[in-house]
Amino acid sequence: MRLQCDVETSSRLLPSCGLRGRGRGIWSALTIGARGGGAGSAAAGGAGGGGGDGGDKDGRNAHGQLWLMVCSSKDKAGSRYKLKGNIEQLFTKFVDEGKATVRLKEPPVDLCLSKASTVGLKGFLSALRLAHQDHNVSSMHISSLAPARSSDVEKPRERMTVLARADYPLIAGFPSSLQTLQVSNCRLSRVDSRMLNLRHLCRLDLSHNHVRELTAALSSLGCLAELVLADNHLEAFPSALCSDDSALRRSLRLLDLSRNRLRSLPHNFGRLSELAHLRLDDNRLTALWRGLGRPNAGVGRLRSLSAARNAVARLPGGFARLRLDVLDLHGNPLEQPRPRDLVAVRLLLPPTLAELAARAAKACRLPYCPASVPAELCRWLDAAEPCEGCGSFALDSFVAASLPLDLRCIATQVVLLDHGGRGQEAPRLVFFCSRACHQRFILK
């Protein structure tokens, strides 16, 4: 049985000598097995407590004892430790984080394990307990201990950068242990399906390629925190990546879609609830998604928003509720707001039963999803705009107006909208459920 992880070997005698350990682990391979016949001399690494048990017979010593061998790139021969009755304590409080400590009696050392697979670590610790208690271990795969090979102690690759098409791994593929992957200037037209199997991937950078569309399978990357797709040919961002079933909803913190061909964002884009940094520069956006800044509409952690050089004429009504560190809307044809001018009027008198029911459902914050109501109805409810006057909601019956917004009230650092030193105000599109609400709001 074998486990690969970081191991720090700490002697408990060092403090009594006024010494300290190095305090840093090294990638190692731990193996539970029987000592070979040629290893009957003293154990390596100070494990002399097991060296006096005599030679081995048929791959195991006379008492059928098992040993723990720890090999690293600096010590491929490995250090061997007797297991039967030799484990003083197992510290497993953080085993779910891939961490544990094995305290041995002889020699008096602590083996501090970290960065291990949770499932593999739990199985390995169970095997250690059985070997310590000399229970039946016939169900375990036991072999004679042998020096480790280079591949056994080589630390899994966590970063990979490909900056030229000639270096793209067509045959070799991508190591499954990757946490950061950058593939740029390779003229990729789509996301390689092999990238979707990298379950530990935290950052994916596919900038400077020719990617035209994204696959919904990206939503399965539950550890992905940063997705960089700058300078591609994207024309749409899939709504499936923002759905309730998408793992990106809870993991994605940075999204770079700058220098693409986006004309709009999906209606449920705001469900990326952990998103903190969003870059939308140099696209063809005519509007930001309507739910931006709404209460309980997601993107509550947004701190940096850059949407320079697009075609945005008005900001969403909920924009006033944002609290940003950096805001850049430079290069957009933002109109001059006129509070008393109406942008659109569409009043249904009296409102339909569906409109009244939807307003009540939104006001009571009733949960809904495609599993409980039709998907089309979910999209209709998602599009409901809060009334700026009374706090109700407007769907098919509304009055729309343009109101000024001082950007300095919502962002610490604002990039000026023009070169004249002005450009601190921008129009936002707000909705009212009736003319009466609009008139009361204007009179205030």
Q: Do 170 and 261 have their domain in common?
A: yes
Q: Do 105 and 162 have their domain in common?
A: no
Q: Do 127 and 187 have their domain in common?
A: no
Q: Do 299 and 186 have their domain in common?
A: yes
Q: What is the pLDDT of residues 42-95, one digit of tens each?
A: 344 444 334 334 334 333 444 457 889 998 888 888 889 998 899 999 999 999
Q: Do 4 and 108 have their domain in common?
A: yes
Last residue of a domain, one of 114, 130, 155: 155
Q: Do 305 and 161 have their domain in common?
A: yes
Q: What is the CATH number of the domain that holds 87?
A: 2.30.29
Q: Do 4 and 151 have their domain in common?
A: yes
Could you tell me if residue 337 is inside a domain? no
Q: What pTM was estimated for this model as a whole?
A: 0.74
Q: What is the CATH number of the domain that holds 269?
A: 3.80.10.10
Q: Do 149 and 163 have their domain in common?
A: no
Q: Do 129 and 194 have their domain in common?
A: no
Q: What is the pLDDT of residues 134-155, one digit of tens each?
A: 776 665 666 677 777 777 777 8
Q: What residue numbers bound the domain in which 367 lies?
A: 342-443
Reading the chain (444 residues) residue by residue, the pLDDT tens digits are 888 888 998 888 877 776 666 678 888 888 888 875 433 333 444 443 343 343 343 334 444 578 899 988 888 888 899 988 999 999 999 999 999 999 999 999 999 999 888 999 999 999 899 888 877 666 566 667 777 777 777 788 889 999 999 999 988 889 888 999 999 999 999 999 999 999 899 999 999 999 999 999 999 999 999 999 999 999 999 989 988 889 999 999 999 999 999 999 988 888 888 999 999 999 999 988 877 766 555 566 899 999 999 999 889 888 888 899 999 999 998 877 666 667 778 888 888 888 889 888 888 888 888 788 888 888 888 888 888 888 888 888 888 888 888 888 899 998 876 654 456 888 888 888 888 888 888 777
Could you tell me if residue 329 is inside a domain? no
Q: Do 180 and 281 have their domain in common?
A: yes
Q: Do 424 and 304 have their domain in common?
A: no
Count of domains in the chain? 3
Could you tell me if residue 335 is inside a domain? no
In three-state form (DSSP H/G/I as H, E/B as E, the rest C), the secondary structure along the chain is: CEEEEEEEEEECCCHHHCCCCCCCCEEEEEEEEECCHHHCCCCHHHCHHHCCCCCEECCEECCCCCEEEEEECCCCCCEEEECCCCEEEEECCCHHHCCEEEEECCCCEEEEEECCCHHHHHHHHHHHHHHHCCCCCCCCCCCECCCCCHHHHCCCCCEEEECCHHHCCCCCCCCCCCCEEEECCCCCCCCCHHHHHCCCCCEEECCCCCCCCCCHHHHHCCCCCEEECCCCCCCCCCHHHHCCCCCHHHHCCEEECCCCCCCCCCCCHHHCCCCCEEECCCCCCCCCCCCCCCCCCCCCCCCEEECCCCCCCCEEHHHHHCCEEEEECCCCCCCCCCCCCEEEEECCCCCCHHHHHHHHHHHCCCCCCCCCCCHHHHHHHHCCEEECCCCCEECCCEEEEEEEEEHHHCEEEEECCCCCCCCCEEEEEEEECCHHHHHHHHHC
Q: Do 299 and 355 have their domain in common?
A: no
